[in-house]
Structure 1
């Protein structure tokens, strides 16, 4: 495993292209696995590390573009760098609109591929960090009692303690206690921090 804790998957049906890309990526310290088809890739055990996928557009059975469209439905969210010897502008536009990092036409410059792979790994590393942070926020929110969750929902709207007390039918002192517990459990030093946390949780669940 390389020092950065990442892996690059290469899918191309040309053995010599795969070998060349493997050599290039390993020469700069990347861990690499390569496959001749999407099916071979899907049938192998995948390492749970920040990842970039170098993917040929034209492949036997499932094409690279088809696999890009299918990724989400099969639980894969790898950044993709497309490579092709038969690319055209509409194809490259479609790939980039669907989220590809880069669309390189063979023969491409080694540095262009390396730059694209590095960008893909960096993107996947950020995605994983964001998901880990969100998982932690959700765990904190789950630790709140139902009453504390109700209090938090009103606090982040800017309501005062006495307004919250009236709305929930509680004493102002009880609201202060719930509010303090919310701030502590959510690890929010300030109201602004709590609002940002609430916005993150709402965004993740699709709430307005």
Structure 2
């Protein structure tokens, strides 16, 4: 099997997993619902966000959301082009799979932003309906990204002697994220940790 076919299967498999999890969350939970997976340090906690990975957002309301969605689309096209180039140049498989992870994560969140507003009702005080009568909660490119992975490894008050934040309640790791975010993070991490030599040689 060629490298291109292996990469396509890899990306499709990860995208299916990402979307199955998100659709299950949307059709079984309301915003704010959660349940424990492993004790108090790994929970499924359903939230939605308008923005980037790990709940970060770009300001400007619908205008900011549109700019972010367009930027994501341009980035995905650029990554797809670069993946094709890496395959032609017979780059190491680790490099190709890392960019495949980044590509897959970007596409996963684009699907939410582009289509979820059109095909789902909202999840506030109700479990969302897929393909609701009368249409979804928003328009094309203005859907919200579904997040659910929450790892509050430590929760407590910081010691008073710590400057500025001493005495404040602290949660680590606070951001709630999804599998697509994880794909991007893992892809970047692998590139930085194992494949810096590849990019140094390209220079």
Q: Which structure: larger Rg? A: 1
TM range (shorter): under 0.3
